[in-house]
Amino acid sequence: MISAKSHLKAVDLSPRDRLIVALDVDNYQEAERLVELLKDEVGMFKIGLELFTACGPSLFEMTARAGVKVFFDGKFHDIPNTVAGACRSAVKHRIDMFNLHALGGAKMMQAAARAVKEAELPDQRALRPALIAVTILTSMDEKTLAEDLKVSQPLKKMVPYLAGLAQGAGLDGVVASAQEASLIREAVGDDFLIVTPGIRPAFAKSDDQSRIVTPGDAIARGADYIVVGRPILKAESPVDAARRVVDELAC
């Protein structure tokens, strides 16, 4: 297994360390402004598909200069050989964590894990990024799974199953709703990352997420990291909003 323990899964994670801010914007300048504004308030930044498609790998150069941790939310999902190649390319950048879809299957995840393990690091100081798998998107609920995807298993069984599949394939953790975090912990144990999006602080509205919980509840259920976007980015003061989330994590 690719070990993420050295720099991501520390026993003494502070509330600030646990907060990942999603850079859900569409241009480089705004992303850079937010990184500079929030880098002393949060533990990591998430670069997702909208921003990466707009700006490309130059984002990783910017975050490296800023000295911040990065989660690349690329959600790779393709044939094993293609995903392995994408993973080797991802390792060349100074990122701390990236992901793929567990629904791509065990062979795809195994190929990805091997690629990360064998890939050349950008320099001697670099640490191998943690590789994690998306279980079920937090925008999807039980009805969507059953009616749109014809998945007969309920969420409470499907999510832990996918987490176990990812663990068996050699991955470091999963992305999942905090509502299933305790079930995942029971299935895979403590030495496995759980990153939870769909988090809404007590002061924020739910937007388009279906399966959401508060920051404190997420950690209590077994999450290691939480991802927060709009409640911070859209706040009148993103710094104050980030601090309020950290305060909730500390409770």
- Cβ atoms of 104 and 83 within 8 Å: the answer is yes
Residue 107: strand pairing partners: none
Amino acid at 21: V
> How far apart are alpha carbons 77 and 83 in whole angstroms?
7
- Cβ atoms of 103 and 78 within 8 Å: the answer is no
> Would you call 75 a catalytic residue per the annotation?
yes
User: What are the Cα distances from residue 251, in Å, to 70, 240, 245, 246?
Assistant: 25, 17, 10, 9
Burial 42-58 (b: 16+ CB within 10 A, else e): bbbbbbbeebbeebeee
- Cβ atoms of 193 and 8 within 8 Å: the answer is yes
* From 39, 75, 92, 117, active-site residue: 75
Residue 76: strand pairing partners: 100
Residues annotated as catalytic are 75
